[in-house]
């Protein structure tokens, strides 16, 4: 395959690239998507399926209120994205196990509760309500929690979806809409041309007027091919699932006592994560870190005691796309007309539907995109 031509080339077949390509094709664009591996097999197929909205407690505690205020405008973006998630099963014609039953961050000390309250004030200023619950109110909402819980912050809009269903379903919808999907096609070099860009891959070269870099954790390497420096990197994470049990946890659960995201899938397995690091083997591949596994399970069982009687059956690892300040990088690169970055870090699964909508608007030069001011580092 040499010098194939198209209007828009999307680099990266994770959920962000696939949804962007799908939206572009539905609007009539001629779109080809290049993916180095199989579609949806990196972060988008290996994440924990949380649909996040509230500011993450560990980062709030670590980085403080100034950081949270700078990140605050992203909350409106995420809120829009979660409402798009609500309609996604109907849009793809498949049940993606989307449940928005609310998310609760659980405090075990007064100091933690105080921080949750301060965090809620910033969330409120950006249109996201996090209701503060005292011990009794929390017990009523979430009777499965430990007696050590003294209160919490409840955000009714959060929830979960099944990434193992969502990303393949989006890929099929994109293909039906006319996107040319090319898995096992790694981008190895890019050059500017008078009429756009030439992209060299492991399967020949392509020419396109417009280019969307949705390469997730590897997006920095792809941007560097056009001498564009971006502060995005890959961080190794792990997640664990328990054996299936009867209905236990209807919410997305976080803890202020340690890193945790916890939810129960529709098949009964409890999915336990929250940003615990995986180990790197000498050859660069990832492996489960036993220390992270033990730490993660201890935090989970400290919040939901029933979990100490349930066996963990499988852990897995993947690289998450992260930026130092958590802010997304979305938009056209100044000085590189037609080269777009589509990068929502850390919670990119939650943000994908809105990311894709905004990217399609930008690539097509359509009105209707909400302002990215304060959200994307490219709009500062
Ligand atoms: C373990 C883990 C748990 C997570 N849990 C959650 C969660 O619960 N909720 C949440 O919202 N987010 C979560 N995340 C984050 C979320 O999964 C990611 O932010 C999101 O999936 C990013 O989507 P993406 O499409 O941008 O990137 P990816 O899914 O990483 O896709 C990028 C694609 O680009 C391809 N690519 C890279 N370089 C090239 C190249 N040179 N040529 C061609 N293709 C290339 C890659 O192979 C990859 O398939 C988690 C991440 C991890 C790792």
For 55-104, the pLDDT digits (tens) are 999 999 999 999 999 999 999 999 999 999 999 999 999 999 999 999 99
Dist. CA 30–CA 363, nearest whole Å: 12
d(CA 148, CA 136): 12
Q: What is the C-alpha separation between 235 and 257, in angstroms, rounded?
A: 22
Rounded Cα–Cα distance for residues 219 and 224 (Å): 8
| CB of residue 15 inside a 6 A radius of ligand 1 | yes
| Tens digits of residue pLDDT in 257-306 | 999 999 999 999 999 999 999 999 999 999 999 999 999 999 999 999 99
pLDDT of residue 379: 86
CB atoms within 10 A of CB 262: 26
**Residue nearest (by alpha carbon) to ligand 1 atom 35:** 12
Indicate if ligand 1 lies below 6 Å from the C-beta of 45: no
Q: Contact 186/201 with Cβ under 8 angstroms?
A: yes
The H-or-E segment that residue 332 falls in is strand 329-332
Paired tokens of 211:
């280019």
Taking only the tens place, the pLDDT of each residue in 330-372 is 999 999 999 999 999 999 999 999 999 999 999 999 976 668 9
Distance in Å, CA 218 to ligand 1 centroid: 9
Q: What atom of ligand 1 comes closest to residue 39's alpha carbon?
A: 49
Residue of the nearest CA to atom 22 in ligand 1? 348
Ligand 1: distance of its center to the CA of 323 in Å? 13
Structure tokens at 179: 């996107």
Kindly report whether the global pTM for this prediction surpasses the value 0.85: yes
Report the run of H or E that residue 69 belongs to, with start and end: helix 65-71
What DSSP assignment string belongs to 251-305?
SEEEESSS--EEEE-TTSPEEEEEEEEPEE-TTS-EE--HHHHHHHHHHHHHHSG
CA 219 / ligand 1 centre spacing (Å):
10
Ligand 1 centroid–CA 317 distance in Å is 12
Any bridge partners for residue 227, and if so which?
none
Q: Is 92 in the pocket of ligand 1 (CB under 6 A)?
A: no
β partners of residue 182: 34
Mean pLDDT estimate for the chain: 96
Ligand 1 proximity of 33 Cβ (cutoff 6 Å): no
Residue 265 in tokens: 């899938």
Which residues lie closer than 8 Å to 135 by C-beta, 6 or more apart? 149, 150, 151
Q: φ and ψ at 277, to 5 degrees? A: -75, 140
Domain 100-159+233-322: what homologous superfamily? Answer: D-Amino Acid Oxidase, subunit A, domain 2 (3.30.9.10)
Would the CB of 152 count as within 6 Å of ligand 1?
no
Q: What CA–CA distances, in Å, run from 378 to 21, 223, 334, 342? A: 21, 14, 8, 11
Question: How is the chain split into domains, by residue range?
Answer: 4-45+164-232+325-379, 100-159+233-322
Quick one: fold of 4-45+164-232+325-379? FAD/NAD(P)-binding domain (3.50.50)
CB of 12 within 6 A of ligand 1: the answer is yes
Are the C-beta atoms of 226 and 215 separated by less than 8 Å?
Answer: no
What's the CA gap between 1 and 206, in Å, rounded? 9
Q: Is the CB of 223 under 6 A from ligand 1?
A: no
pLDDT at 1: 47
């Amino acid at each position: 395959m040499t010098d194939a031509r198209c209007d828009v080339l999307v680099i990266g077949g994770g959920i962000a690239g696939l949804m962007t390509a799908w939206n572009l094709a539905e609007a009539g664009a001629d779109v080809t998507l290049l993916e180095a591996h199989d579609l949806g097999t990196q972060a988008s197929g290996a994440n924990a399926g949380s649909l996040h909205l509230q500011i993450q407690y560990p980062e709030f505690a670590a980085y403080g209120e100034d950081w949270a205020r700078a990140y605050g405008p992203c909350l409106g973006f995420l809120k829009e994205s979660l409402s798009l998630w609500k309609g996604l099963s109907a849009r793809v014609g498949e049940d993606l196990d989307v449940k928005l039953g609310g998310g609760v961050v659980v405090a075990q000390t007064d100091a933690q509760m105080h921080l949750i309250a301060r965090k809620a004030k910033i969330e409120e200023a950006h249109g996201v309500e996090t209701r503060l619950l005292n011990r009794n109110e929390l017990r009523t909402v979430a009777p499965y929690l430990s007696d050590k819980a003294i209160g919490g912050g409840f955000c009714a809009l959060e929830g979960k979806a099944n990434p193992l269903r969502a990303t393949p379903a989006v890929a099929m919808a994109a293909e039906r809409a006319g996107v040319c999907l090319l898995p096992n096609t790694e981008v190895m070099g890019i050059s500017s041309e008078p009429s756009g860009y030439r992209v060299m891959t492991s399967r020949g070269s392509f020419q396109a007027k417009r280019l969307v870099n949705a390469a997730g954790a590897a997006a920095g390497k792809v941007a560097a091919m056009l001498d564009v420096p971006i502060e995005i990197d890959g961080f190794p994470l792990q997640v664990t699932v328990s054996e299936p049990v009867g209905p236990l946890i209807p919410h997305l659960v976080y803890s202020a006592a340690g890193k945790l995201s916890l939810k129960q899938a529709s098949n009964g397995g409890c999915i336990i994560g929250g940003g615990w690091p995986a180990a790197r083997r000498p050859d660069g591949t990832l492996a489960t870190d036993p220390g992270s596994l033990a730490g993660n399970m201890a935090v989970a069982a400290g919040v939901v005691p029933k979990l100490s009687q349930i066996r963990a059956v499988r852990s897995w690892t993947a690289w998450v796309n992260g930026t130092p300040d958590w802010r997304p990088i979305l938009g056209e690169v100044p000085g590189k007309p037609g080269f777009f970055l589509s990068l929502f870090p850390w919670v990119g699964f939650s943000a994908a539907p809105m990311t894709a909508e905004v990217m399609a608007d930008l690539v097509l030069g359509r009105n209707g995109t909400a302002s990215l001011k304060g959200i994307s580092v490219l709009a500062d």
